Structure 1
Amino acid sequence: MIRSLSIILGCLALGELIIYLTHIKLPSGIIGLLILFGLLQGKWVKPDWFKPITDFLMQNLMLILIAPCVALVQYLDLLSKDIGAIFVSAVGSSVLVLLATAKTYEWARKKFSQNNKKGKSA
């Protein structure tokens, strides 16, 4: 569990350092996740290493989500004023993500099936 937590925190710290040095307008957590993704894809770290920490986080997910839920309830009157805009943006962004994912999958499937056909015919 210490190893996996160290890797995750190291990726987050590296993401923070990259943001600090480059002044990119992205959250450091996103950069950290991309670094972790690169480490996983490059097979430098194994997904099995993260099982203990992911099990722990899943078992305690309610504790992690209590604070944001309390904040939502606390600001319910403020949120209710803009519920229409919140709803439209949530639904709209979800639809856009679904469309982008579908198009990306469609493109990747065509690209990789063409590469497989070329490799088999050669």
Structure 2
Amino acid sequence: MFSFLGTVIVEGLHIKFPGSIVGLILLFGCLYFKLIPVSLIKDGAGFLLSVLTLFFVPATVGVMNYPELLSFHGLLLIISVVISTIFTIIISGRVGQYLENKIALKEEE
């Protein structure tokens, strides 16, 4: 629903921005201002997070169609993927720990 609404907004205002991203921003705003409860999306979000890695498989397999790209830039591509993965893991872990601590402090009050 939010993705559709984001697409309508983007097309209506003729913005060169993905409607799905606008929809995610709208969803975040509604969750942040407690216009919709988290429990409404918790089950679906949990499922999508559990299968998130499957969404990256088509992109990875698609790169295999361009062996000349891999032979020329393969090492740089591998290095950038490894470094970005490490940064993503570190940042995600830190944000998760921060939010977990913040929730624990709220529950103690």
TM superposition score normalised by structure 2: 0.58
Change (3 A) 1:82 1:58: same
Q: 1:84 to 1:60 in 2, by over 3 A?
A: closer
Alpha-carbon offset, residue 51 of structure 1 = 1.9
State the Cα RMSD in Å.
2.8
Question: CA offsets, 1:16-60, max 9 Å, x none?
Answer: 101111111111122111111111122111223222112211222
Structure 1 position 39 matched with structure 2 position 33:
no
Structure 1 residues 13-92: aligned runs within 5 Å: 13-82=4-73
Task: Provide the identity percentage.
Answer: 33
**Within 2, Cα distance between the matches of 1:84 and 1:69?**
15
How far is 1:66 from its partner?
1.6
Distance 1:51 1:80, change over 3 A: farther
Structure 2 gaps of 5+ residues are 85-109
List, as ranges, runs of 4+ consecutive aligned residues in structure 1 with deviation greater than 4 Å: 82-87
Whose radius of gyration is greater, 1 or 2? 1
Greater relative contact order, per chain length (Cα 8 Å cut-off, separation 6+): 1
Q: CA deviation at 1:84?
A: 8.3
Task: Summarize the Cα distance change of 1:76–1:36 in structure 2 as closer, same or farther, 3 Å threshold.
Answer: farther
> TM-score, normalization: structure 1?
0.53
Compared CA separation, residues 53 and 82, structure 1 to 2 (3 A): same
Partner-residue secondary structure (3-state), 2:62:
helix
